[in-house]
Amino acid sequence: MKIGIFQLNGCTKCRNEIINLIGNPELIVRNVKDYEEETDVKLIWCTDEYNLPSSIDIAIFSGYATSENLHCLQEIRKIANQVFTFGSCATDGGIFGLAYQKGIEIFPISKIISVDQEIRGCLASGDHLLALLKDYNQFQSEKLCEKCPRESTCSFLEEIVHQIDLQELDEKQCFNDVGYTCSGYIANNCQERCIDFGTPCRGCNPFIDDSSIRMLGMMGTLMGQMDVATEASSKGATDKLADEEDEISSAYSDVVGTFFRFTLANSPIPPGKIPSSGNIIADIMVGRPIEELPLITGMMGGKSFISMTIDILDAYEKGIKLELDNELKTIREQLLELEKKYKLACENMDPNLYAESTENIRKLAGNMNLSNLYFGGMKIKLDSFKNFDNFRAHPIPIQEGTYTSSSKNVTFTLDSRGIITNWESKNYEL
Amino acid sequence: METKTKKNVVCFMCAECGQGAANTAGVARMQYDTSIKIIRVKCAGQVGPIQIMDAYKNGADSVAVIGCCFGACHFFNGNLVSLRRVKLLKKFIKEMGYSELILNQYTARAAEGETAVGDFEDILEKLKQAIENKGVLKQ
């Protein structure tokens, strides 16, 4: 069986996850150069779109697609028996789909060609892919809320909060019950499980169509106790919804980034009209609140996801003068070292080094999305931490201003609500 | 009037006060614009972002939800719940760079047909403003 792996644009983390399959005894996967035995599964890493093999059994796509990829995708569909999309970007537009708000056309692959299997998730699960390769119908997904230790009461909310102190939250209490928006209601259980590391789910792996719109409706319903502005209609002499700011409209400074983080390009709204800056990373970042930034870069940073995240943490920590614990500094240095190993593993297609480096990253940062990292500390105690109380993360103050990291790689400007209004970064290797 | 009739306005009206007011308006032979397309729903609380986005996707220029007066929902608080969902969706539309005037929620009184007709006029006035500001979803 020949499996072609095609990386489109953007972050390569999902493609790298496929390295895990090389040499996997369950599939007897051979790497690219072995063509001897017909029964073997061969992974063909297709880098040149003009030099396609004559036929492949399964084409796996990762990364986001733009109008430039349309022709190439159609050509691959012709030679491929089956098409899989792997990861949120290929399936729904993913985190890069946030640039859709700035009018950049990003296509979910299923809108261009027919797709046989869609594997969602940021990071997409290699186990899910393996299960599908072994047996087409075998993979059974579970709902995240069923597997979450916290229990939701779905009671009406008094307020929406954007940061919480995890110490004040009961172990069984649902994030949504305290107004800390979590899209777990619409999500499948996944491999990364941000919820285990004090980070609410943003719905990268939904089990339902139009998941973000549904989640928006759900939160709108839960906000039943909050004030909404009404006014008398001049024409019909009855009341109507007013257009002024009220508790509901000011509760979220970024509805797009909160509810539509992974599915904006696949949602039933035309491309946004916010002016684009020309740089896709800046288009994703502008409009997002500061407290969500580490998770966004942890997910879309490609091979530089750790250095990008630490640069952002460093920039803001320096700006608001947060003192860092020495152990935390060591952990961050170790993470940066691990990133070099991870890069090396990806370049050499080395499954052993890949497994070793990702396992160590998970030990320090919780998961491959770096959910445990936050400004000034870590969210949840992991086994590898010695004096966790010294670097426990707390809610950060929001301060207007321009922040630059010590490495000068990232510069961003925040407005008074903590929303990014300007973003500049060096070209990270994605 | 010519420019108005080319538009599609979808009004979700609740079967109690909203549709009742439209019926009363009909009995009294009050006139309203032909661009108004009424969809009768059991309660305004049934209408959520999914239904509203479906309407836009299928060609609506403007969508409105018309329910009972506040405190007078014939079920429990469907109009108030819907009000908050609509407000949140309005915020989403605004964040995408479009005009929030293309989505509205009103109330009507079943015994007074002019409340429904007044609401329709208000919707069209706001839609006109949105078109002037190039804020409608359709290109």
- pLDDT digits over A207-256, tens only? 999 999 999 999 999 998 899 999 998 877 789 999 899 999 999 999 99
Report the CATH number at residue B118: 3.40.50.960
Predicted pLDDT at A138? 67
Instruction: Provide the 3-class DSSP secondary structure of residue A5.
Output: strand
Q: Which one of A217, A223, A235 has the shortest CB-CB distance to B122?
A: A235
Q: B68 is in which domain, residue-wise?
A: 2-132
Chain A CA closest to residue B126: A243
Q: Taking the CA of residue B131 as centre, how many other CA atoms within 13 Å lie in the half-sphere pointing to its CB?
A: 13
Predicted pLDDT at A403? 95
Contact B96 A248 (CB under 8 A): no
Q: Which one of B53, B92, B100 has the shortest CB-CB distance to A243?
A: B100
Contact B88 A269 (CB under 8 A): no
Predicted pLDDT at A408? 93
Q: Tell me where in chain A the CATH 3.40.50.700 domain(s) lie.
A: 2-134
| Number of folded domains that form chain B | 1
Quick one: pLDDT band at residue B73, thresholds 50, 70, 90? Answer: very high
Q: CB distance from B117 to chain A under 8 Å?
A: yes
Contact A220 B95 (CB under 8 A): no
Burial B49-62 (b: 16+ CB within 10 A, else e): bebbbebbeeebbb
Kindly give the pairing relationship between strand A239-241 and strand B62-67: unpaired
Euclidean distance between the first and the last CA atom of chain B, given in angstroms as a whole number: 21
pLDDT in tens, chain A (430 residues): 788 888 889 899 999 998 888 877 776 554 444 444 444 567 777 766 667 778 888 899 999 999 988 988 998 999 999 999 999 999 999 999 999 999 999 999 999 999 999 999 999 998 888 888 877 666 788 999 999 999 999 999 999 999 999 999 999 999 999 999 999 999 999 988 999 999 999 999 999 999 999 999 999 999 988 999 999 988 777 899 998 999 999 999 999 999 999 999 999 999 999 999 989 999 999 999 999 999 999 998 899 999 999 999 999 999 999 999 999 999 999 999 999 999 999 999 888 999 999 999 999 999 999 999 999 999 999 998 999 999 999 999 999 999 999 999 999 999 999 999 999 998 888 8
In a domain, B138, yes or no: no
Predicted pLDDT at B139? 64
Contact A238 B69 (CB under 8 A): yes
> To the nearest whole angstrom, how far is the Cα of A236 from the nearest Cα of chain B?
4
Task: Yes or no: say if A387 and A215 are a contact pair by the CB < 8 Å rule.
Answer: no
Enter the tokens of residue A425: 């970064």
Q: CB distance from A238 to chain B under 8 Å?
A: yes
Class of domain A2-134: alpha beta
The rounded distance, in Å, linking the Cα atoms of A325 and A318 is 14
In a domain, B93, yes or no: yes
Spacing of C-alpha A33 from chain mean position:
33
User: Cis before residue B124, ω within 30 degrees of 0?
Assistant: no
For residue range A165-199, list pLDDT tens digits in order. 999 999 999 999 999 999 999 999 998 899 999 99
In a domain, B84, yes or no: yes
Q: CB distance from B96 to chain A under 8 Å?
A: yes
In a domain, B16, yes or no: yes
Report chain A residues whose CB lies below 8 A from the CB of B116: 236
In a domain, B13, yes or no: yes
Angle at B137 between CA A218 and CA A105, to 5 degrees: 90
If contacts are CB pairs under 8 Å, which of residues 56-95 in chain B contact chain A? 56-57, 69-70, 77, 80-81, 83-93, 95
Contact A213 B87 (CB under 8 A): no
Predicted pLDDT at A39? 46
